[in-house]
Amino acid sequence: MKTLLFLFSFVILTSCASQKQQHIKSEEEIAEECLFPKYSQEVSSLIWSNDNELILKIQQNQINKNARGSFCRTMAHEAVRDTEFLEKLINLGVPFDEKDSMGDTPIIEAVYSKNLKSMDFLLQKGVKTYQKHSFDSSLFFHAIERFPLSLDLLIKYNVCPFGTGFMDKTLEDVIAPHDLSFQEKILNYKKNYKTNDKNCIDNSLKKK
């Protein structure tokens, strides 16, 4: 348990430290800003109540559109449960593809929430599908493992199928619990996958 708490604290500190560009702050300052940043309670409560007051405050520059909630979560992280509200915030310039202190972007939160509409919207906006998230797991692996119903959406947007899952699981490990037709659909997608994105690399080929 102590080891998990230590690792969790380390992730928070290192992720938040990377966001500081000039002034180097103490570890205590960084941890406090990420866990309980200015406006975090107000921003979170306004989002959870789906209150248009937040929209007005952003429009009137009373709240910074880049404001972070607890654990360095952006407003988009908090709003993925309501796609229409999420769209309003992003149209105001709220960042939609930045990581929180655990390394997850808003689309991963949409996966956890099993919200296909928000996933669809964020993929339309052009989120980076190749980047690693918490536990070095890619979007494709997160989605297949936690929200398999999103497979058709992943294929529609040509989401990068390479990477690893939680605890270095391979794609075969992740799809093993599913029926054969589901497994074949994913393996065929990976086999025939084509992209011009140089960031989407099948690292398994390097090990052979």
* Alpha-carbon 141 to chain mean position: 12
Q: How many CB atoms lie under 10 A from the CB of residue 22? A: 4
Q: Which of 70-79, 118-127, 161-170 ranks highest by mean pLDDT? A: 118-127
CB 90 within 8 A of CB 76: yes
Q: What does the alpha-carbon distance between residue 108 and residue 112 come to, in Å, rounded to a whole number?
A: 6
pLDDT (tens digit, 9 = 90+) per residue, 2-33?
A: 454 444 454 454 555 555 445 565 545 544 55
pLDDT (tens digit, 9 = 90+) per residue, 61-93?
A: 888 888 887 788 888 998 898 899 899 999 999
CB 106 within 8 A of CB 76: yes
Q: What does the alpha-carbon distance between residue 118 and residue 145 come to, in Å, rounded to a whole number?
A: 18
CB 72 within 8 A of CB 42: no
- pTM here is 0.77
- What percent of the chain clears pLDDT 70, i.e. is strictly above it? 73
CB 140 within 8 A of CB 163: yes
| 27-127 CATH | 1.25.40.20
Domain boundaries, the chain: 27-127, 129-193
